[in-house]
Amino acid sequence: MLKRWIGQSFLRVAGWKVVGDRPPVDRYVIIAAPHTSNWDMPFMLAFAFVYDIPVRWMGKHTLFEEPYGKFFRWLGGIAIVRSRPGGVVAQMVEQFENDESLVLMVPAEGTRSRVDYWKSGFYHIARGADVPVVLSFLDFGKKEGGIGPTIKMTGDITADMDKIRSFYADKQGFRPSKAGVIRLREEDVDELVAHDAENAEELERLAGNL
């Protein structure tokens, strides 16, 4: 198969090792992390080719106009119209509903620069489409990459993210200083709500003792 040969040749020349097995499911969101350089995309596509995973990825719809549109679609691109009602999450949930073997790759950091939060789109897409999240990785320190665990998002965001944080804790990006903090903004909201609930219970207890 042409794509597998391309992937194997690329990784062999680069001196990289393939780690992990192909996911046991056909429909899932796959996280690509750490994301710190332009090299991440060709490496992740090379690994996808080796695993024979038909990875799809999101791109602004203008990227798929001529003359390069057919090429980007061959690479697995899905055109996204950001102004469409419901946004990106709704469009991807719809894609999953209409495709029995969709594998959507998402660079959760959303940028090559250091960020304080990951973008939570991958989480909400997985929850909305009722598909698991597969953790893939690139470790430039060890020159290895591949597939990690398959995780079902439960709705307990902090608990789910703790599993993700644990897996990526020792993975080194091409530019380690650019690696984003593995945290979603929603976790801060959950903590605030929990804190307010604890305060409310304490106030109620104190009021009962007056």
What is the distance between the alpha carbons of residues 6 and 134, in angstroms, rounded to a whole number? 23
Q: Is residue 193 part of a domain?
A: no
What is the distance between the alpha carbons of residues 46 and 34, in angstroms, rounded to a whole number? 16
* pLDDT per residue as tens digits for the range 45-63: 899 999 999 888 877 777 7
Structure tokens at 46: 């090379």
For the chain, how many structural domains are there in total? 1
Q: Is residue 123 part of a domain?
A: yes
Tell me if 36 sits within 8 A of 111, measured CB to CB.
Answer: no
Q: Is residue 86 part of a domain?
A: yes
Instruction: Report CA-CA distances (Å) from 154 to 28, 92, 134, 147, 178.
Output: 14, 19, 14, 21, 29
* pLDDT per residue as tens digits for the range 79-136: 777 767 668 888 889 989 988 889 998 877 766 667 788 888 899 999 999 999 999 9
User: 10 Å Cβ neighbour count for 78?
Assistant: 17
Q: Is residue 73 part of a domain?
A: yes
Q: Is residue 117 part of a domain?
A: yes
Q: Is residue 203 part of a domain?
A: no
Q: Is residue 43 part of a domain?
A: yes
Q: Is residue 200 part of a domain?
A: no
* pLDDT per residue as tens digits for the range 151-187: 999 999 999 999 999 999 999 988 877 777 888 988 8
Domain containing residue 109? 2-185
Q: Is the pTM of this model over 0.85?
A: no
Residue 67: per-residue pLDDT: 84
